[in-house]
């Protein structure tokens, strides 16, 4: 009689751990604060978490926080909507139309790696130093990853599904709407996740051009004045925006991709 085999599968399955993330984060902050309080870390080189919290509190109390956040959010949303929708449209065209793909892919490959910051003097001449140049910087940064993600998302839709729809004589537009778009959606949402983060990165670059208010302008000014607490406080704001965007995209994924289960 053989003893029943022990279950040996499932060893590396990742389980959701709700508290570990918080505990790890708090532990890092506690160690950092401890090192600062004990005087091991000079405040010139790395300000303490308490100093950064103080800078954030000062900003919130003086009302500057909302002014900076509002100015930046306006630019990010406008740039993301403009660049993202253009990227989506061009990406779909690249994925669906042979001529557009043949002509467009080399152009995109040529333009994508241009650092947007290098173009700032030109942007000032083209768009001025008001809002348009800032929105354009973000829109341009968002456009390319969005176009590429959409294109490869469309490309990865299983050919068999498309051929099946074709053999049932489904009209071309309906195939795009009912087969290709839903099939490409995971890729498109991954593109949204990446390009939204790139929008946050670029808000600092965009606000290099004569911005009085905005999280990026605040970070730049703090850096120029060597106020390291304020600088890291601004960086924290960007991180919080990044986490918020991440949550929003995850929620959208759960909602829009529920059909996959």
Tell me if 33 sits within 8 A of 42, measured CB to CB.
no
- 70/60 Cα distance (integer angstroms): 13
Stretch that binds other proteins, among 4-12, 146-154, 203-211, 247-255 (CB under 8 A): 203-211
Q: Is 225 in the site for other proteins (CB under 8 A)?
A: yes
Closest contact distance (angstroms) between CB of 114 and other proteins is: 16
Q: Is 219 in the site for other proteins (CB under 8 A)?
A: no
Stretch that binds other proteins, among 14-22, 190-198, 224-232, 241-249 (CB under 8 A): 224-232
Among 12, 22, 45, 168, binds other proteins (CB under 8 A): 45
- 60/35 Cα distance (integer angstroms): 26
Q: 115 or 121, CB closer to other proteins?
A: 121
Per-residue tokens: 129: 């130093």
DSSP calls for 126-141? HH-SSHHHHHHHHHHH
Stretch that binds other proteins, among 22-30, 38-46, 51-59, 95-103 (CB under 8 A): 38-46
Tell me if 86 sits within 8 A of 174, measured CB to CB.
no
* Residue 70, H or E segment: helix 64-96
The owner of tokens 């949303």 is 77
Q: 128 or 177, CB closer to other proteins?
A: 128
Cα atoms in the 13 Å half-sphere on the side-chain side of 199: 29
Q: 191 or 207, CB closer to other proteins?
A: 207
* Closest to 55 in 3D by CA, of 245, 228, 241: 228
Stretch that binds other proteins, among 22-30, 100-108, 144-152, 219-227 (CB under 8 A): 219-227
Q: Is 221 in the site for other proteins (CB under 8 A)?
A: yes
Residues 112 to 131 in contact with other proteins, rule: CB under 8 A? 120-122, 124-125, 128-129
* Closest to 178 in 3D by CA, of 160, 165, 163: 165
Q: Which residues contact other proteins by CB under 8 A?
A: 43-45, 120-122, 124-125, 128-129, 208-212, 217, 220-221, 224-227
């Amino acid at each position: 009689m053989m003893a029943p085999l022990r279950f040996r599968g499932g060893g590396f399955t990742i389980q959701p751990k709700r508290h570990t993330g918080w505990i790890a984060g708090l532990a890092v902050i506690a160690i950092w604060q401890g090192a600062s309080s004990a005087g091991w870390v000079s405040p010139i080189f790395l300000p303490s978490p308490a100093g950064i919290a103080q800078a954030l509190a000062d900003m919130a109390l003086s009302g500057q926080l909302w002014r900076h956040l509002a100015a930046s959010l306006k630019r990010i949303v406008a740039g993301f909507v403009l660049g993202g929708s253009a990227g989506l449209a061009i990406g779909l065209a690249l994925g669906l139309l042979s001529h557009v793909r043949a002509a467009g892919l080399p152009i995109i490959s040529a333009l994508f790696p241009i650092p947007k910051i290098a173009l700032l003097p030109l942007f000032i001449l083209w768009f001025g130093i008001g809002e348009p140049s800032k929105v354009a910087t973000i829109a341009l940064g968002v456009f390319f990853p969005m176009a590429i993600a959409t294109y490869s998302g469309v490309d990865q839709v299983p050919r068999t599904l498309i051929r099946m729809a074709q053999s049932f004589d489904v009209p071309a537009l309906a195939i795009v709407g009912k087969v290709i778009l839903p099939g490409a959606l995971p890729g498109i949402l991954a593109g949204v996740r990446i390009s939204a983060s790139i929008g946050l990165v670029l808000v600092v670059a965009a606000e290099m051009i004569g911005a009085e208010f905005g999280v990026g302008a605040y970070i730049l000014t703090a850096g120029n004045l060597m106020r390291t607490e304020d600088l890291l406080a601004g960086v924290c704001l960007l991180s919080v925006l990044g986490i918020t965007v991440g949550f929003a995209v995850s929620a959208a994924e759960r909602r829009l991709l529920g059909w996959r289960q």
